[in-house]
Amino acid sequence: MQHQYAPAHRIQSIVKAPKAKDRRQPAAAAAAAAKKGKGGAGGAVFPPFPKEDLVFRGGRTMPNMSFKTFYLGKGWASAPLAAPRQKLDAAIDAAMSDPGLNGIVAQYFGNAPITTKALPSAVLDVPGEATFDKGDIHNLVKRLFKSGNLAALDLKTTLINFVLPPRAVLSSDGGGNERVKRVVRAARTRPGTPEAEEEDSRNGLGGYHGSVHIQSPTGGVTVYYAAAVFSDGDNGIPISGWEPWENICATLYHELCEARTDPDVEDAIRTGDLRFIGWNSNSGQEIGDFPIGEAGSDLERVFKRVTIAAEPHTVPIQLMWSNRVHGPEAPGAHAGLAMAAALAGAATEVISLGPTTAATTAPTFGNGIVLSPPGNLKDFKEKDSFAKWSSERSKDFDEAIERTQQYLKGLPSQYFNPTRGIPNTPDHAEQPIKWPGFPRKLENLGLPLDEQFRRAEVISGTSLGRLKSQDEYLEWFVTRGDDGRIVRVDFTCEGPEYWRFLAEHEPKVLLALYQKHISPDVKLPDLITGKNYNPLNVWNTTRGAMHLIQPSNNLFAEIVIAGDATILRKNADGSLKTEAQDLIDCANYGDRGRASDPHIGDLVNALARDGYVISLKDPVGLYMSRPRLVGFTTPDKKPISQDWFTVARGSEEFILRGVFAAPKGSKFTVGDLSIGGVPLRWGGQVAKVIDMGLTGVAYGKGTISDPAFDCGDPPRTAVMAGAAFTDFHKPTRRM
């Protein structure tokens, strides 16, 4: 268990070929003995060299795996390549299922049986290229994935093999500055040979394996792949006397064994995090690597045609490192077991991938809708007020979409404006989002309960607890009797926009509603100063609560947070961000300390990661639940009825305003009640049992797969920058 390495060494050792002296020394010392092993029926072919034994580092492994081979280029579909292709398919399948060969690799899986399933291979109709670099290979993986050709596979345990056409050069360059695991033909690696020269198949590269992370509608997926050169002549790793398909088979065998024991090596290289490594040696060699180095110029010592029980009885492979013999191990005699039929002769599927760049496409949209007032309120008297209201909200949606466009720059937004059209997709989902109405920030200050309730509520001078603290889109106003006991609590979750709208378009309605819900004494000039509606008027602050006033509590904020949250966010290593606090810290779409903002963002972003096109459900608004009254009792220990809470605006389905007060005829008042035996002294005790909610709508799962973005400030439009809580024309969530 002494494997504590300095990180710098760890990384390099993964990609470097073994140092000449590490390799040569045992190889030389063993030269004579090794010759004896040549052609032997089993056991060790080199003297033991325990220093290179493989060690488990904690990463993934694949005891049970499948593989699917894609032959690049239409040439593979017909003569003269069809026959070698079929031989290769049969041989690699047989080699990977052979109990003798698997018995060697099984030692890395506690000698439990390992299995391999060969999936039907296919010819990929891609243009022949002179050179396939790593970027090309990664692109092929992505295109295959997007084309749906990998859809049926369990990608977690499947290796996608690419076999290059004749003469095509494989290179490990490209695809960014990442480097991949490769097979280096040792014979060509002379001491002092610069690294770069080894990185293509003209210079000893036979193949490599790695992984590609793809953002997909269903979250991130990892596709494991290997690439193998058509080794022949001066390209790849040709073994003398072998046909090219045999060379390829040995390379694929090498890569499959390595992918089985160390699939995530590319992540380890990308991130520098050694925990991704499965099995490798202390010098960083994977199961297939050191044997090549050890064989030196005498590659035949580890590239062997071995006899197996099943058809085709002989398979060309490369011997793998075996800890139990501390060297490359050839399979011994083994019992013949029934094997899967070889695939030779099976019909070949030729796949074409369509356009080279798999662009993300927006769905088409049908007719838009007229957005209803919150809670489907029917307050408006003027005929065109409904349309006006809808068009105001439409502007909010447009602005929210524009914000996403500052990232997407023309790519389709995952947020849509329902007034402009509803997506034409077969599927459609709703996402209710709920959070507690009592301010989470207050709860998290570490204060005694009573103090939390007091701070949420207290009115001292011009400072209202409500304005300061009630920031979960639920606000309440407490009316107390002369003895200080509560007689009623008014709850509201109506955005200020609606009231500004009334002041502008329906002033009579505005006044009537204030008079009805707050006090018959309200006069219009109390509400409108000059031409402007004053949301912080006395009837909506110290004398009542008609609608939300906390600066962050408004409809625009709701619309914008949901929109901002449709932008996918990524970590430094390219993986998608998925955690609530992480997302809000990254995108900055609200206050991380609240329950609402991070939670709304969290659930909306999850829909976005699923590739949906998203909006808010009509009627757009914020709605409270009824309080959970279980445990509320009158002084005679009787439970109270639902009549204590009256829906004053909206409907049971969409509660916008609720009043908690004694029902007519009750001999008790609110202040007489207890909740679970604790006297009801604060409005916040009732707020604690109210949930807030809104509903997202999502169309077309998997429709859009936009790129993910790094963290950074949200784009600040002029409007956003100037927002302050007294400016209710364009109020905003704190950014």
Partner 1 sequence: MTTTQEPILDLDDIQGNIYPGFNKDHQTIRCFTIVDAAAARSAIADLLPDVSTSAVVQAYARLRATLKRQRAGASGLSATWMNLSFSYSGLAKLSSAAIADAVDDGAFKAGLPDRSPLLGDPLDEAEPGHPANWLFGGFKTPSIDMVMTVAGDKRADIASYLGDIDARMAAHKTPGGKPALELVFELVGDTLGGELNGHEHFGFRDGVSQPAIRGRAKSSPDKFIVERIIDPALSDAKSYGRPGQVLLWPGQILLGQPTQNGQDPLKPNQPFPLKVGWAKNGSFMVLRMLQQDVPAFWAEIRSCAAKVLGRSDDAAIDWVGARVVGRWRSGAPVTRTPDADRPEFVADNRVANDFRFRLAGTRPQLVATQPPLPDLPLSQADPKGAICPFAGHIRKVNPRDDAVELGGPGDTLTHLLVRRGIPYGPAFADPRHAADDGKERGLIFVSYQASIERQFEFLMQNWVNGDDLPHVGSGRDAVLGRHRPQEGAPASSIEIVDGEGKSHRLVQMQDFIVARGGGYFFSPSITGLEQLTAEPVA
Which of partner 1, Zn ion, none does residue 288 bind (CB under 5 to 8 Å by kind)? Answer: Zn ion
Using CB under 5 A, which of 18, 236, 244, 288 touches Zn ion?
288
Q: Is 59 in the site for partner 1 (CB under 8 A)?
A: yes
Amino acid at 274: L
x/- track of binding to partner 1 for residues 98-127 (CB under 8 A): ------------x-----------------
Min dist. Cβ of residue 67 to Zn ion (A): 16
Q: Name the DSSP letter for residue 636.
A: T
Q: Name the DSSP letter for residue 93.
A: H
Q: Is 443 in the site for partner 1 (CB under 8 A)?
A: yes
Using CB under 8 A, which of 677, 713, 718, 721 touches partner 1?
677
Using CB under 8 A, which of 70, 76, 389, 435 touches partner 1?
435
Which residues, including other chains, have CB under 8 Å from residue 451's CB and lie 6 or more apart? none
Min dist. Cβ of residue 366 to partner 1 (A): 28
Q: Which is nearer to partner 1, 39 or 639 (CB)?
A: 639
Span 565-584, contacts to partner 1 by CB under 8 A: 578-582, 584
Q: Supply the angle between the helices 555-564 and 496-505 in degrees, to the nearest 10.
A: 130
CA distance 416 to 423: 8
x/- track of binding to Zn ion for residues 175-214 (CB under 5 A): --------x-------------------------------
Using CB under 8 A, which of 117, 570, 592, 617 touches partner 1?
592
The window from 15-23, 66-74, 257-265, 513-521 that contacts Zn ion (CB under 5 A) reads 257-265
Residues 548, 497: contact at Cβ < 8 Å? no
Min dist. Cβ of residue 13 to partner 1 (A): 17
Q: Is 638 in the site for partner 1 (CB under 8 A)?
A: no
Q: 10 Å Cβ neighbour count for 564?
A: 27
Which residues, including other chains, have CB under 8 Å from residue 664's CB and lie 6 or more apart? none
Q: Which is nearer to Zn ion, 133 or 286 (CB)?
A: 286
Q: Which is nearer to Zn ion, 288 or 544 (CB)?
A: 288
Min dist. Cβ of residue 207 to Zn ion (A): 8
Buried b (16+ CB within 10 A) or exposed e, 454-487: bbbbeeeeeebbbbebbbbbbbbbbeeeeeeebb
Using CB under 8 A, which of 65, 408, 433, 474 touches partner 1?
433
Using CB under 8 A, which of 41, 445, 719, 724 touches partner 1?
445
Q: Which is nearer to partner 1, 202 or 454 (CB)?
A: 454
Question: Which 3-state string (H, E, C) describes 145-166?
Answer: HHCCCCCCCCHHHEEEEEECCC
Which of Zn ion, partner 1, none does residue 289 bind (CB under 5 to 8 Å by kind)? Answer: Zn ion
Which of partner 1, Zn ion, none does residue 440 bind (CB under 5 to 8 Å by kind)? Answer: partner 1
Contacts made by residues 102-105, CB under 8 angstroms, sequence distance 24+: 103/331, 103/334, 104/320, 104/322, 104/329, 104/331, 105/257, 105/260, 105/261, 105/287, 105/320
Structure tokens at 392: 């105001």
Using CB under 8 A, which of 595, 608, 613, 655 touches partner 1?
595
Span 39-58, contacts to partner 1 by CB under 8 A: 56, 58
Residues 560, 400: contact at Cβ < 8 Å? yes
Which of partner 1, Zn ion, none does residue 722 bind (CB under 5 to 8 Å by kind)? Answer: none
Q: Is 634 in the site for partner 1 (CB under 8 A)?
A: no
Dihedral angle of Cα 409, 411, 414, 419, to the nearest 10 degrees: 80
Which of Zn ion, partner 1, none does residue 677 bind (CB under 5 to 8 Å by kind)? Answer: partner 1
Q: Which is nearer to partner 1, 500 or 569 (CB)?
A: 569
User: How many chain residues are in contact with partner 1, going by CB under 8 A?
Assistant: 51
Dihedral angle of Cα 79, 84, 90, 93, to the nearest 10 degrees: -120
Using CB under 8 A, which of 73, 236, 263, 436 touches partner 1?
436
Which of Zn ion, partner 1, none does residue 444 bind (CB under 5 to 8 Å by kind)? Answer: partner 1
Q: Are strands 219-228 and 158-163 parallel, antiparallel or unpaired?
A: parallel
Q: Is 219 in the site for partner 1 (CB under 8 A)?
A: yes
Which of partner 1, Zn ion, none does residue 602 bind (CB under 5 to 8 Å by kind)? Answer: partner 1
Which of partner 1, Zn ion, none does residue 599 bind (CB under 5 to 8 Å by kind)? Answer: partner 1
- What is the CA angle 460-461-464, rounded to 5? 55
Residues 71, 121: contact at Cβ < 8 Å? yes
Of 383, 414, 420, 385, the C-alpha closest to 401 is: 414
Residues 419, 391: contact at Cβ < 8 Å? yes
CA distance 451 to 646: 28
Min dist. Cβ of residue 444 to Zn ion (A): 51
Min dist. Cβ of residue 465 to partner 1 (A): 19
Structure tokens at 684: 């916040």
Of 67, 145, 88, the C-alpha closest to 346 is: 88
Q: Which is nearer to partner 1, 294 or 691 (CB)?
A: 691
CA distance 58 to 143: 31
Which of partner 1, Zn ion, none does residue 581 bind (CB under 5 to 8 Å by kind)? Answer: partner 1
Which value, in Å, is the radius of gyration of the alpha carbons in the chain? 35
Q: Is 289 in the site for Zn ion (CB under 5 A)?
A: yes
Min dist. Cβ of residue 319 to Zn ion (A): 13
The window from 32-40, 244-252, 285-293, 350-358 that contacts Zn ion (CB under 5 A) reads 285-293
Q: Is 213 in the site for partner 1 (CB under 8 A)?
A: no
Which of Zn ion, partner 1, none does residue 580 bind (CB under 5 to 8 Å by kind)? Answer: partner 1
Which of Zn ion, partner 1, none does residue 449 bind (CB under 5 to 8 Å by kind)? Answer: partner 1
The number of CA neighbours under 13 Å toward the Cβ of 58 is: 7
Q: Write the CA distances from 48 to 11, 326, 331, integer angstroms.
A: 26, 5, 16
Give the sign of the dihedral formed by CA 236, CA 255, CA 74, CA 89. Answer: positive
Which residues here bind partner 1, judged by CB under 8 A?
Answer: 1, 4, 56, 58-59, 61, 110, 219, 274-275, 431-436, 440, 443-450, 578-582, 584, 592-595, 597-599, 602-603, 606, 630-631, 639, 642, 674-678, 691
